Structure 1
Amino acid sequence: MIYPDAFLSLERVRWNMAQDVPWDKFDSALLTDEQAATIKMNAITEWSALPATEMFMRDFHDDSDFSAFMSVWFYEEQKHALVLMEYLRRFRPDMMPTEEELHAVRFEFDPAPPMETLMLHFCGEMRLTQWYRCAGQWHTEPVIKHIYGLLSGDEARHGGIYFRYMQQSIDRLGNEARVAFAKVGVLMTSASRTAKALHPTNLHVNQSMFPKDTVQSHLPDPAWLEHWLDNQIKFDSQWESKVINTILTKLSNLFGRNFANTKELNHYRKEVGTAATATS
């Protein structure tokens, strides 16, 4: 089981909202209305860990180890929403999300292949790690800069635990898992082929609600994410390359192959897919 060790490793580095956030360093002159609005949107987006957890608990019902890990992941992700809301409560209460705005991102996700979902969320954590690092550099107010640093560190650690479950899945399922991980890996390293931000909260998850079936489509401003990335924090090609290189490096380690780019990963996807078909 991975959960007991994962719990302890995350417990050792867990930050405390009261003690580890320098609330007394707040400088009102360094927080703009524009910046405060983005904090609100990030808080609501983080709240969507609630329906994601419900999805994981349903689709991973046969995996009690991973389901137990969800107790830690859910707690820490909801703490992200909470610390952002606490920042707004203290310093910009007019920007606090309402309960209705938070509840709007709780809707049912359609069932999906569990291994693809696992890989998708691993990639999502790798991407969010860099988004928050970039956001921390864009912000000028010291307390929120510190908070985004805390969040970024959490997301990186979560990705590391997801990766351990991916390793375990290959041991158990072999090519079935490899095909799923490679398939999603190709999608999530192909940002240049789409103008859409490649993150779980921006993907369609409920066919009956289409096209309003992404988390981002349920935000007060559905167009916020792309504007935040492109025009505010300026998550450019250099930042994007960090995400892609991280995913390719991790998959290289996972599969025992060296992937220099998405094209090479796609070749591997086809290769392992053929092998899986031949043995099925």
Structure 2
Amino acid sequence: MLYPQLFTELEKARWNMADDIAWQDFDAALLTDEQALTVKMNAVTEWSALPATEMFLRDNRHDSDFSAFMSVWFYEEQKHALVLMEYLRRFRPDLLPTEEELHAVRFEFDPAPPLETLMLHFCGEVRLTQWYRRASEWHTEPVIKQIYKTISGDEARHGGAYLKYMKQAIERSGDEARQAFAKIGFLMASSGRSGKPMHPTNLHVNKALYPRDTVQSRLPDPDWLERWLDTQIEFGKEQEMRVIGGILRNLSSLFGQTFETPSDLNRYRKQLAAP
């Protein structure tokens, strides 16, 4: 089982919202209305860990080890929503999300293959690590800069935990797991082809609710994400290459291969699928 080890590792790295965030350093002159509104949108987005956890538990009934790990992941992800809301409660209470706005992102996800979902969320953690790192650089107010840097570190550790479950899956399922990981890895590393940021929160997950079946589509401002990335934190080609590079490096290590481009990964995927 991986859960006991991961619990211990993440417990050692855990931060305390009351003591480890320098709330006293807040400088109102360094927070714009535009910046504060993006904090609200990220708080609501982080709240979607709730339906994601419900999905994971439903689709992984066969795996008590991974399901137990969800107790740690869910706690830490909901704390991300909470610390962003606490920032707004203290300094911009007019922008604090309502319970209705939070509940809007809790909806049922269609069942999906567990291995593909695992890989999807691994890639999501790699991307969020870079998004939040960039957000910390964009902000000028010191407390929110620290908060984004802190939760970026959490997302990186979550990605590492998912990677251990991916390694375990390969040991148990062999090429079935490799095919699932290569398929989703290629999709998530091909953001240039899709023309949009590839992350679990902006993918369609419930056919019956289409087109309002992405987390982003249910936010108070459904169009905020691309604006945040393109014109606010300016998550450009250099930052995107860090995401793609992170996915390819980790899959290279996991598969014992060398993937320098998404095309390399796609060729490997086709080899796995060949008779």
Q: TM-score, normalised by structure 2?
A: 1.00
Amino acid of the structure 1 residue aligned with 2:66: F
Percent identity at matched positions? 70
Q: How far, CA to CA, are the matches of 1:263 and 1:171 in structure 2?
A: 25
1: distance between equivalents of 2:260 and 2:152?
25
Describe the superposition over 1:158-214 as per-residue Cα deviations: whole angstroms up to 9, x where unpaired. 000000000000000000000000000000000111222100000000000111100
TM-score (norm. length: structure 1):
0.98
Unaligned 5+ residue runs, structure 2? none
Alignment map for 1:4-15 (pairs within 5 Å): 4-15=4-15
2:268 equivalent in structure 1: 268
Partner of 2:190: 190
Q: 1:253 maps to which residue?
A: 253
Q: Which amino acid aligns with 1:83?
A: V
* Segments ≥4 residues shifted beyond 4 Å: none
Instruction: Tell me which residue corresponds to 2:231.
Output: 231
Query: Given that residues 115 and 180 in structure 1 are in contact (C-alpha distance below 8 angstroms), is that contact kept between their aligned partners in structure 2?
Result: yes
Match of 1:175 in 2: 175
Q: 1:113 Cα deviation (Å)?
A: 0.6
Counterpart residue number, 2:128: 128
Give the paired residue count. 275
Match of residue 110 from structure 2: 110
CA distance in 1, matches of 2:196, 2:47: 21
SS, match of residue 72 in structure 1: helix
Letter in 1 for 2:221: D
Q: What is the Cα deviation at residue 222 of structure 1?
A: 0.3
Per the alignment, residue 20 of structure 1 pairs with 20
1:20 aligned counterpart, secondary structure: coil
Question: Contact 1:59/1:111 (CA < 8 Å) preserved in 2?
Answer: yes
Query: What are the within-5 Å matches in structure 2 for residues 1-280 of structure 1?
Result: 1-274=1-274, 278=275
Distance, in Å, in 2 between the alignment partners of 1:106 and 1:155 is 21
Which secondary structure does the structure 2 equivalent of 1:43 belong to? helix
* CA deviation map 1:208-239 (0-9, x unaligned): 01111000000000001000000100000000
Whole-angstrom distance in 2 between the partners of 1:103 and 1:168 = 34
Deviation by residue 1:1-45 (Cα, 9 ceiling, x = unmatched):
000000000000100000000000000000000000000000000
Query: Secondary structure of 1:17's partner?
Result: coil
- Measured in 2, the distance between the counterparts of 1:195 and 1:226 equals 11
Is the Cα–Cα contact under 8 Å of residues 175 and 273 in structure 1 kept in the other structure? Answer: no
Give the gaps of 5 or more residues in structure 1. Answer: none
